[in-house]
Amino acid sequence: MKQQENNTDLLQDETLSQKLIKKGFWLYLFSYLIAPGGYLIRLLISNSPEISVADVGILYSIISLISFLNVYNDLGLTESLQYFLPKFWIKKEYNHIKTTIYLSFLVQFGTAILIALGLWFGSDWLAANYFHNPVSADILKYFCLYFLGINLFQTFQSIFIAFQKTFDYQLVEFIRMRSVVGFSFFCFLTNRGTIEWYSLNRLLGLGVGILIAGFIYYRNYHHSLMQGKFEWNKPMLKEYRKYALWSFIGLNISSVFGQIIQQLVLYFLGDESAGYFANFQSLFNMGFIIIGPIMSLIFPIVAEVMEKKDEKKLNLLISFFYSYFSVLICTIVLLFMTLGSDIGSLLFGAKFRLSGELLSYGAIFLIFSTLSTFNFSVLGGLGKVKLRVKALSYSTLIFLLSSIVLIPLFKIYGAVFSFGLSYLSLWIFSYFALGKYKTIGLDFNFISSNLIYLIILGFIIYLTKDIFFSISYPRLQQVSHLLIITFIICLILALLNMKKISFILKEIKKISRTQ
């Protein structure tokens, strides 16, 4: 049933270029402000004299466990909400909007409370029999409260990103992260650098983020979204639950590969290896600082474009990402492969040099991780969740079998290879799934020429890196060398591709004028 609409337009009609440039601006601006915060926290933890490599392993194994549970506790309704909200808004079906928000909220918090209670009362048993560390019992209790809070926080974020409000989405994340950084600095400077205190800091920072997100939601969204009535519409709810079911079965398994293998490393190799692997994953995920922000916008854009039946925009988006963003990914991979061990030592200290060495071996898989994430965002926006589940099922089977075999045989290096193999298989299966519905156009000349440039640059960096990264150099000086090398590589690639860059800019301007 359609109601008289509120005069606030939450989903403005914009061209594809406006969406990617204007909204992408806020995504990237805040991402560059947020990302250093996450690494500052890890840097403070890893360099705290009171904390060992094993302590880092325990802390981030608990965080990965909570992250894994957080992905699935909403039973897929959060992604279903993001998929349907733009559609309902375009059709002015305000009763459906209110009903689905209420339903998602109640289910998510019902399951979150049950899981949190289970972890709280089982914390002593898990500490003794799984983590093999008595301190982990108190940390688990902190994260039970964190688990409840992050569900509320991410509910607000889901609504923001469903309407492509990237400023609101990133602002609250920025405030949350900066609050955690502030509390962590306080602990570091006042000699409270224990994993118990750093765990509490995450909870306090989350509390600040929830307050700000709740205020923004109530001021800018609540009245518009709640103008309808709660309506038990069986056909709509059946479609909503059906999408949620398939999302639940295959939701974000790519993002939880890391959480699963972190638990496997802890189980097979112990807490010290878990510490090295946790910081390897942190370094690996640095690649998403550049690529990741735009990913959060792909899903709602595709869902909106499909609702408006604009195939041209969608084909343009897919071709643009595969042809040009892939070169950006390869540039990041080049730096990780040639300078991995140095990056690990610079960020986390000499005791975590092994984490950097693991990055050198595993960096190549960042390509497949990023492209598979893009494929899944597009498939989700197309509503092809069953195809996602099939691809995920095959990849998960390969991932689990390879992990069980390779980790005991090759230790932590086997974990890295299994981790990467999961993303490779996920990309292959998702690529063919997407290819059933969309032709993925590639600029082969652009990609191949830039790969040659990158191979040459990588060879030069590998031969000369000892000049820039020496134990005798102060840490800050080595960081400046790393930034300079990165800038020079980007500058060289920009100069070599000047004609292509000029062409792309002209096309963007042309699209802006004609759409």
The model's confidence at residue 364, banded by pLDDT at 50, 70 and 90, is very high
pTM: 0.76
Q: Which pair of tokens denotes residue 263?
A: 């638990």
Q: Which pair of tokens denotes residue 462?
A: 């590998």
Rounded to a whole number of angstroms, the distance between the first and last alpha carbons of the chain is 32
User: What does the pLDDT look like over 84-109, one tens digit per residue?
Assistant: 888 888 888 889 889 988 888 888 88
Most confident of 70-84, 85-99, 251-265, 491-505: 85-99
Does residue 232 carry a pLDDT above 90? no
Does residue 13 carry a pLDDT above 70? no
Angle at 135 between CA 134 and CA 136, to 5 degrees: 90
- Report how far apart, in Å, the C-alpha atoms of 287 and of each of 20, 220, 283, 315 are: 19, 33, 8, 25
113 touches 148 (CB < 8 A):
yes
Q: Which residues lie below 8 Å from residue 447, measured CB to CB, with a gap of 6+? A: 323, 326, 327
Query: How far apart (Å, rounded) are the C-alpha atoms in residues 153 and 215?
Result: 12
Q: What are the domain boundaries of the chain?
A: 31-269, 270-514
316 sits in which H/E element? helix 311-320
Q: Which residue has tokens 């031969």? A: 463
How many Cβ atoms are within 10 Å of 476's Cβ, its own excluded?
9
Give the CB-side neighbour count of residue 175, counting CA atoms within 13 A.
18
How many Cβ atoms are within 10 Å of 457's Cβ, its own excluded?
19
The model's confidence at residue 15, banded by pLDDT at 50, 70 and 90, is low
